Amino acid sequence: MRKLSLLFMLVMLCLATTAFADNIVFDLSPTNGSTNRGAGNGTGQGVSVQTTQTLSDVEFFLDSPNGGNFKYFIYDSTNTDLLFLTTFHVDPIQQMTWVSAPVNFTLQAGNTYNFGVISDNTADYGYIFPPINYSNNGLTAITTGNDNYSGYGVPVFSGNGAAEIGLRLSEVPEPGSMVLLGTGVLGLAGVLRRKLMM
């Protein structure tokens, strides 16, 4: 019976840990190919928000044959107010893949945000053309064309393109997931304590 209880607690802990992982809420995966951008030239994708949520991670689908420093950023709907910016280094990537950066940013319902990426080196970014209608978890891709940005120091909007750019967004786990994790850990600790006392 004790072994069965221990097994049950381990299964609950595994489920709680899985639930605690960030949840991908928006997955606009590229299907057509990639666009090459030189150093200091970037691109981006607009997203309209129907449900308020806090992001924990932003990913773009890209390669970077020589590596480089990247900036992921978020502008308002008019590309005038820079709301979020993070900088990080990427080692050479020879094959297109999702590259993520942690964020802590709340998307407010009723607003539109432009997610951008730029590097101080050459990079390729995955795209979808023609744009498709995509909506998931209260987030909708803007289909009027991608944003273009220039200037690595402070990226500024430089015009629109005609495609959608591959973008993934993940949200912070909900409090219920954290409670589930805590319950699993406490239950496992109790079982182990009992076993050690016997």
The total of other beta-carbon atoms located within 10 Å of residue 188's CB is 18
- How many angstroms separate the CA atoms of 195 and 118, rounded? 55
Widest pairwise Cα distance in the chain: 71
pLDDT of 38-93, one tens digit each? 999 999 999 999 999 999 999 999 999 999 999 999 999 999 999 999 999 999 99
pLDDT of 142-183, one tens digit each? 999 999 999 999 999 999 999 999 999 999 875 644 444 455
* pTM of the entire predicted model: 0.80
- How many angstroms separate the CA atoms of 62 and 117, rounded? 10
Residue 9's φ and ψ, nearest 5 degrees, are -65, -35
The total of other beta-carbon atoms located within 10 Å of residue 169's CB is 27
What CATH number is given for 23-173 in this structure? 2.60.120.820
Is residue 19 predicted with pLDDT exceeding 50? no
- How many angstroms separate the CA atoms of 59 and 174, rounded? 20
The full set of domain ranges for the chain reads 23-173
Q: Which helix (H) or strand (E) holds 168?
A: strand 167-171
